[in-house]
């Protein structure tokens, strides 16, 4: 699989994502939204965005591995954050870099009112091309 990252002229140069990702491969992997769940499906780290973000990206990594995909093959993620505020960005970015390192998939970050169940603060889904 080959990924080409493009940061177009005339657009800002984001630190943690890319404006355009072109992927060529033979298989697409779609990972459902990952939340701060333990292996039994129970919420962990209620009320702690930083800890939930770490768990969410760790769970995303596990899901990618199960599909035979690596984090550097992810082309796009969507991040959903309950009651998002600008000051949450550094917390989310630290967790994101923990999984992706220098790889910068395209992304969307959405502030939402609620997620699937009370207590969850962040959810992330992904698309990879393998």
Give the tens place of pLDDT for each residue, 39-65. Answer: 999 999 999 999 999 999 999 999 999
Cβ–Cβ under 8 Å, residues 22 and 4: yes
User: Considering the chain, what percentage of its residues have pLDDT values greater than 90?
Assistant: 82
pTM above 0.85? yes
Residue 96: strand, helix, or coil: helix
For strand 106-112 and strand 74-82, is the pairing parallel, antiparallel, or unpaired? parallel
Distance CA 77, CA 17 (A): 10
The model's pLDDT over 107-120, given as tens digits with 9 standing for 90+, comes to 999 999 999 999 99
What per-residue confidence (pLDDT) applies to 48? 97
Alpha-carbon distances of 59 from 4, 38, 82, 86, 128, rounded to whole Å = 26, 9, 18, 24, 15
Over range 21-32, report the average pLDDT: 90
């Amino acid at each position: 699989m080959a990924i080409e990252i493009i940061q177009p002229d005339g657009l800002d140069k984001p630190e943690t994502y890319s404006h355009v990702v072109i992927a060529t491969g033979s298989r697409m992997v779609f990972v459902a939204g990952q939340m701060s769940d333990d292996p039994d499906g129970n919420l962990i780290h209620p009320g702690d965005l930083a800890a939930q973000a770490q768990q969410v990206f760790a769970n995303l990594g596990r899901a990618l591995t199960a599909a035979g995909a690596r984090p550097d093959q992810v082309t796009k993620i969507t991040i959903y954050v309950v009651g998002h505020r600008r000051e949450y960005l550094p917390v989310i970015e630290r967790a994101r870099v923990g999984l992706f390192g220098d790889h910068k998939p395209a992304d969307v970050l959405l502030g939402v009112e609620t997620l699937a169940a009370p207590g969850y603060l962040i959810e992330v889904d992904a698309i990879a091309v393998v």
